[in-house]
Amino acid sequence: MSMWGGVSFQNSASFTMEQMTFFYDFSFLTILLILVFVVYMMSYLACESLIKCYDLDNQIMESFWTILPLVILVFLAFPSIRILYLMDEVKNPMLTCKVLGHQWFWSYEYSDFTSFEFDSYMVFNLMRLLEVDNCFVIPFGLKVRLLVSSVDVLHSWTVPAFGVKVDSVPGRLNQLNFTVNRLGIYFGQCSEICGVNHSFMPIVVEVILNQSFSVWVENSS
- pTM for this model (two decimals): 0.77
Higher pLDDT, 121 or 53: 121
Among 56-70, 95-109, 207-221, the range of highest mean pLDDT? 95-109
Residue 5: pLDDT band (50, 70, 90) is low
Question: What DSSP element (H or E) covers 132?
Answer: none
Q: Which of 41, 73, 88 is the last residue of a domain?
A: 88
Residue 143 lies in a domain: yes
Residue 53: pLDDT band (50, 70, 90) is low
User: Could you list the residue range(s) of the whole structural domain that residue 179 is in?
Assistant: 95-220
Mean pLDDT (the chain) is 84
Question: Within this chain, do residues 168 and 110 fall inside the same structural domain, yes or no?
Answer: yes
Percent pLDDT > 90 in the chain is: 12
Could you report the per-residue pLDDT of 103-150, keeping only the tens digit for each? 889 999 988 887 788 889 988 876 677 888 888 998 988 888 889 999
DSSP 44-79: HHHH-S---TT----HHHHHHHHHHHHHHHHHHHHH
Higher pLDDT, 39 or 41: 39
Q: Is the pLDDT of residue 159 over 80?
A: yes
Question: Within this chain, do residues 192 and 125 fall inside the same structural domain, yes or no?
Answer: yes
Within 10 Å of residue 45's Cβ, how many Cβ atoms?
Answer: 9
From 3-12, 79-88, 127-136, 150-159, the region with the lowest mean pLDDT: 3-12
Question: Within this chain, do residues 123 and 191 fall inside the same structural domain, yes or no?
Answer: yes
User: What's the CA gap between 18 and 22, in Å, rounded?
Assistant: 6
Q: Which of 68, 88, 108 is the last residue of a domain?
A: 88
**Mean pLDDT throughout 76-91?**
82
Residue 55 lies in a domain: yes
Question: Within this chain, do residues 45 and 75 fall inside the same structural domain, yes or no?
Answer: yes
Question: Within this chain, do residues 161 and 207 fall inside the same structural domain, yes or no?
Answer: yes
Residue 7 lies in a domain: no
Residue 62 lies in a domain: yes
Q: How many CA atoms lie within 13 A of 211 on its CB side?
A: 0
